[in-house]
């Protein structure tokens, strides 16, 4: 049986000597050479054509990761990394395995001779197993930059003194996955003189207008895509445009829709948290908060802010939700006073809307 031909690459002369002697002691391994840095190793790979490389992580002239990446891209071969017992060593080793290294073993920081001797069998086994592998060429994948997850603070600072203005109930609704159908069920059950509703559904910009038109056709309420500065009136439902946050603001004598082209919140735009926060700040206890089916947790903290401002709050139950992510997160957070099946929510909203605002504040506490 042919021996496994190994090239040892390490900037430490002592490590090269000890590791070479230990590997050579195995009858199935032959150390064909050693190199003090990657540039020397590059030439020796061409000259000696080894089966396996042992590669130190940190070396002069070119670090081990850069060399490994170049090697696996241009001449893929089995590599066993030699890693230090440090947090930095662990991070680099994991990255080396991603690039294509077959395995690794740790290099002790002291008493090298005894530690290597104790680990001789393990290291030799790793090298011989590595020789049986056929690493693929490394292709660098363009990493997608993940934007930071921002809270509603990025759009609207939290009000320290939410107030009740106008004395008219406004229902704020949030939804995501499965929400287009849930909103349809809700709107179909509302009478033409229902309290005004402001709705944020996670939806692309091209779909929010057609969605609002479809809801207008199936509801006794007048449903539209919200416009900036549009007065909020009873019997109307306003759906956030895709790609813009919908806020409820007090404009001197009336509540109006405000559209905000700010950053994504909870990686969504429009964001339910933004709608709920603005509702808590400008309407307070006169509002009612509803969080329907959806993936993630957008809206959970905003619903809690609404409840803390005195507004009644409720969520769709798990059994009737397509995904009980957003309502489930709100429920676990203590943001909702009630949990109801989808088909019962409209009737409950109409009952809550008839309650005096002062008693609603007590009910939410």
Which residues participate in catalysis according to the annotation? Answer: 176, 202, 298
Helices (H), the chain: 13-24, 38-48, 64-74, 87-99, 112-118, 120-131, 179-188, 205-218, 272-282, 300-308, 326-333, 342-354, 357-364
Q: Give the separation between CA 293 and CA 179, rounded to whole angstroms.
A: 6
The number of C-alpha atoms within 13 Å of 317 and in the hemisphere containing its C-beta is 10
3 state SS for 324-335:
ECHHHHHHHHCC
Beta-strand relationship, 287-291 and 313-316: parallel
Task: Read off φ and ψ for residue 5, nearest 5 degrees.
Answer: -90, 125
- Closest to 150 (Cα-Cα) out of 274, 28, 235: 274
**Which structure tokens are listed for 50?**
């080894």
Q: Give the separation between CA 244 and CA 139, rounded to whole angstroms.
A: 38
**Which structure tokens are listed for 90?**
């662990």
Residue with tokens 């056709």: 217
Measured between its terminal Cα atoms, the distance across the chain in Å is: 80
For residues 285 and 294, is the Cβ–Cβ distance under 8 A? no
Report, in angstroms and rounded to the nearest whole number, the Rg of the chain calculated over CA atoms. Answer: 32
- Closest to 262 (Cα-Cα) out of 149, 159, 152: 152
- Closest to 260 (Cα-Cα) out of 144, 153, 332: 153
Q: Give the separation between CA 164 and CA 146, rounded to whole angstroms.
A: 39
- Closest to 107 (Cα-Cα) out of 121, 86, 91, 92: 86
Residue with tokens 């509702």: 279
Beta-strand relationship, 245-250 and 255-260: antiparallel
Please confirm whether the linkage preceding 120 is cis (ω < 30° from 0): no
Q: Give the separation between CA 232 and CA 252, rounded to whole angstroms.
A: 13
């Amino acid at each position: 049986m042919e021996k496994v031909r190994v090239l040892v690459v390490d900037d430490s002369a002592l490590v090269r000597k000890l590791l070479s002697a230990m590997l050579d002691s195995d009858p199935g391994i032959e150390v064909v050479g050693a190199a003090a840095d990657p540039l020397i190793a590059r030439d020796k790979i061409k000259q000696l054509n080894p089966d396996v490389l042992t590669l130190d992580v940190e070396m002069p002239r070119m670090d081990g990761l850069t060399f490994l990446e170049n090697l696996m891209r241009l001449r893929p071969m089995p590599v066993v990394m030699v890693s230090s017992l440090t947090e930095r060593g662990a991070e680099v080793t994991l990255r080396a395995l991603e690039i294509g290294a077959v395995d690794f073993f740790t290099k002790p920081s002291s008493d090298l001779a005894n530690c290597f001797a104790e680990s001789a069998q393990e290291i030799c086994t790793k090298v011989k197993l590595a020789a049986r592998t056929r690493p693929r060429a490394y292709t660098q994948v363009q990493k997608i930059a993940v934007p930071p997850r921002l809270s509603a603070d990025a759009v609207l600072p939290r009000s320290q003194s939410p107030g009740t203005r106008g004395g008219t109930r406004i229902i704020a609704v949030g939804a995501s996955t499965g929400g287009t159908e849930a909103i349809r069920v809700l709107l179909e059950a509302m009478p033409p003189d229902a309290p005004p509703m402001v709705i944020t559904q996670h939806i692309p910009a091209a779909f929010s207008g057609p969605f609002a038109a479809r809801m207008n056709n199936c509801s006794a309420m007048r449903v539209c895509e919200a416009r900036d500065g549009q007065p909020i009136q009873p019997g109307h439902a306003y759906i956030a445009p895709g790609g813009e946050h919908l806020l409820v603001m007090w404009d001197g004598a009336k509540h109006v829709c405000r559209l905000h082209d700010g950053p994504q919140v909870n990686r969504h735009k429009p964001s339910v948290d933004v709608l709920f926060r603005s509702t808590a700040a400008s309407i307070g206890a006169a509002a009612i908060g509803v969080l329907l089916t959806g993936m993630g947790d957008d809206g959970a903290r905003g619903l809690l802010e609404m409840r803390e401002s005195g507004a009644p709050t409720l969520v769709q139950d798990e059994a009737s939700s397509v995904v009980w992510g957003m309502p489930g997160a709100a429920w676990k957070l203590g943001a909702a006073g009630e949990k109801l099946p989808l088909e019962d929510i409209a009737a409950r909203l109409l009952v809550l809307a008839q309650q005096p605002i002062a008693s609603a504040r007590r009910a939410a506490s």
